[in-house]
């Protein structure tokens, strides 16, 4: 589980709220993976991953619109990072989830968690600096 920490706050209420929601989505994937009472997790995992995809796109649009409105000078580099992340999420191979979901999903979750935390701390925190 990845926990929200105050140090992740960027000081922009709507963006902090959306970051917390992304943490929640990731934690729901982890919880589903760890639920030993559910034998076939494929449909639930696909549903949550699709939610992650959709919500990430919504979040990036909100963030980019905010940066545009304040004239943030690193908007283009943020867009590139956002696009790279979306491409990575869109490249998820659902057949690998069906075949060996724990190993493959752990790799995805490590990537998403690391990217999200590092992106917030190294990039998003600069928006309002």
Mean pLDDT over the full length of the chain = 90
Fold of 6-126: 1.20.120
pLDDT at 77 over 90: yes
The DSSP symbol for 9 reads -
Look at the alpha carbons of 31, 32, 37, 39 in this order and tell me if their dihedral is positive or negative.
Answer: negative
Query: 101: pLDDT confidence band, cut at 50, 70 and 90?
Result: low
What pLDDT, on a 0 to 100 scale, did the predictor assign at position 35? 80
- The secondary structure element, H or E, covering residue 48 is helix 42-70
pLDDT in tens, 9-47: 999 999 999 999 999 999 998 888 788 787 777 888 889
The secondary structure of residue 95, as a DSSP letter, is H
Distance CA 48, CA 43 (A): 9
Asked whether the predicted pLDDT for residue 8 surpasses 70, the reply is yes
List, in order, residues 6 or more apart from 35 with CB less than 8 Å away. 41
Q: What are the residue ranges spanned by the domains of the chain?
A: 6-126
Percentage of the chain beyond pLDDT 70 is 98
């Amino acid at each position: 589980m990845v926990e929200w920490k105050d140090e992740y706050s960027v000081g922009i209420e709507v963006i902090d709220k959306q970051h917390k929601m992304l943490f929640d989505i990731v934690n729901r994937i982890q919880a589903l993976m760890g639920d030993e009472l559910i034998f076939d997790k494929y449909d639930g995992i696909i549903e949550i991953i699709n939610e992650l995809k959709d919500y990430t796109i919504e979040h990036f649009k909100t963030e980019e619109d905010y940066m545009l409105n304040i004239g943030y000078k690193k908007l283009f580099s943020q867009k590139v990072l956002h696009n790279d992340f979306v491409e990575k999420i869109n490249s998820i191979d659902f057949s690998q989830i069906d075949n060996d979901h724990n190993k493959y999903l752990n790799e995805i979750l490590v990537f998403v968690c690391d990217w999200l935390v590092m992106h917030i701390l190294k990039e998003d925190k600069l928006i309002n600096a």
